[in-house]
Amino acid sequence: MAATLVQRCALITTGGTIVSRIDPATGLAMPVLSGQDLLQAVGEEAGDVEVHDFCRVPSPHLGPRQWVGLAPLAQSLLDRDDIAGVVVSHGTATLEETAWFLDLTVRSDKPLVVTGAQRNASARDFDGPRNLLTALKICRAPAARGHGVLVALNDHVNAAREATKSHTVDVETFQSGEWGYLGSVVNERVTFHRSPLRRLHLPLRSPELPRVDIVPMYAGADGALVRAAASAGARGIVIEAVASGHVNGEMHEAIVEVMREGVPVVVSTRIPRGGTRVGYGFAGSSALLVEQGAVLSGDLSPWKARIVLMLALQQGDASTEALARLFES
């Protein structure tokens, strides 16, 4: 006789639009709903769900201090035999960062699905219940195992590494760039078209994550912000460069200065597709930055590269060679 599939899921709530409602006194949305409130909006279709209200904050307020508690909680739930998978509800503003952190630090073949909403609970077409139901369906789908952390909104499934928010208000906001969605959910059917091959695991070593700042390159940038980040105590710096990883001469000088002081620098790009690569030889080009000891982030956005660098620093080996191996993985 075939074993009965576990149907019980866990829901971890963190805040965001999906638990927000308009405050009549101000006319502005605030996160006020609980996980049980969300499940009540879904109804009986939600099935057997264990709720953990982890925090209730707007997602711009959620970051490393919460991540270091969220990851162990998700891991402990996934380790239980009676849990099929875990859903994390989250505000969409920083959802992709939390999802990527969880993908790097949590290890399980079971589905861990991060979802949210673009419209709050006071809206007539509130998308939270539908997205939550979709995420629960994914958690119970055998086909969803082994894909790492997933981002699921509007019936589409994205890999955490690739998912990025592309529109401030549209419900079709999370996209997977050049690679496309992993799968979709139509009615009761969860279908995967591909699996992410680039996976990276960096275990969380302690509840203290080192400070890593992101510094943008823009026309006329003079490098002052690079030096300021190092002076403020940044253990690492990610440069949000232009094109395929370039900065101007002034930024180049500042980057070389901080690297000589022992601050590792990773170069990403503000362009959403194409990633970083060498190819030019002018001062500030990606090729010259790499010659000086910087590391290119490849296809990772500045905010996702920052998370890898934070965890790499926590591992204790942030040499150029070690970082290059991580970002090429």
Domain assignment present for residue 198? The answer is no
What's the CATH number where 16 sits? 3.40.50.1170
Q: Specify the pLDDT at position 2.
A: 45
Is residue 3 predicted with pLDDT exceeding 60?
no
Domain assignment present for residue 218? The answer is yes
Mapped to the 3 state alphabet, what secondary structure does the chain carry? CCCCCCCCEEEEEEECHHHEEEECCCCEEEECCCHHHHHHHHCHHHCCEEEEEEEEECHHHCCHHHHHHHHHHHHHHHCCCCCCEEEEECCCCCHHHHHHHHHHHCCCCCCEEEECCCCCCCCCCCCHHHHHHHHHHHHCCHHHCCCCEEEEECCEEEECCCCEECCCCCCCCEECHHHCCCEEEECCEEEECCCCCCCCCCCCCCCCCCCEEEEECCCCCCCHHHHHHHHCCCCEEEEEEECCCECCHHHHHHHHHHHHCCCCEEEEECCCCCCCCCCCCCCCCHHHHHHCCCEECCCCCHHHHHHHHHHHHHHCCCCHHHHHHHHHC
- Regarding whether 65 and 24 lie in a shared domain, the answer is yes
Task: Compute the Cα dihedral for 173, 87, 312, 225 and give only its sign.
Answer: positive
- Regarding whether 151 and 27 lie in a shared domain, the answer is yes
Domain assignment present for residue 146? The answer is yes
- Regarding whether 164 and 52 lie in a shared domain, the answer is yes
- Regarding whether 135 and 18 lie in a shared domain, the answer is yes
Q: Specify the pLDDT at position 329.
A: 83
212-239 average pLDDT score: 98
Residue range(s) defining the domain that contains residue 242: 212-328
What's the CATH number where 234 sits? 3.40.50.40
Catalytic residue of the set 4, 13, 14, 17: 17
Question: Which of these three, 159, 192, 225, is where a domain ends?
Answer: 192
Q: How many domains does the chain have?
A: 2
Domain assignment present for residue 200? The answer is no
Domain assignment present for residue 94? The answer is yes
- Regarding whether 221 and 142 lie in a shared domain, the answer is no
Domain assignment present for residue 2? The answer is no
- Regarding whether 156 and 258 lie in a shared domain, the answer is no
- Regarding whether 237 and 182 lie in a shared domain, the answer is no
Q: How confident is the model at residue 9 (pLDDT cuts 50, 70, 90)?
A: very high
- Regarding whether 221 and 163 lie in a shared domain, the answer is no
> What pTM was computed for the model?
0.96
246-260 average pLDDT score: 98
Q: Is 320 a catalytic residue?
A: no
Q: Specify the pLDDT at position 265.
A: 98
d(CA 304, CA 45): 34
Q: Specify the pLDDT at position 281.
A: 95
Q: Is 253 exposed, middle or buried (0-12, 13-18, 19+ CB in 10 A)?
A: middle
What tens digit of pLDDT does each residue of 31-50 get? 999 999 999 999 999 999 99
284-299 average pLDDT score: 97
| Cα angle for residues 262, 264, 265 (degrees, 5° grid) | 135
Is residue 274 predicted with pLDDT exceeding 70?
yes
- Regarding whether 16 and 163 lie in a shared domain, the answer is yes
- Regarding whether 217 and 142 lie in a shared domain, the answer is no
Q: Specify the pLDDT at position 4.
A: 64
d(CA 153, CA 167): 13
The tokens for 20 are 């927000």
Question: Which of these three, 192, 222, 254, is where a domain ends?
Answer: 192
Residue with tokens 């119970």, as numbered in its chain: 140
What tens digit of pLDDT does each residue of 164-214 get? 999 999 999 999 998 899 999 998 899 999 999 889 999 999 999 999 999
Cβ atoms of 165 and 173 within 8 Å: the answer is yes
Domain assignment present for residue 197? The answer is no
Question: Which of these three, 158, 192, 226, is where a domain ends?
Answer: 192
| Chain center to CA of 300 | 11
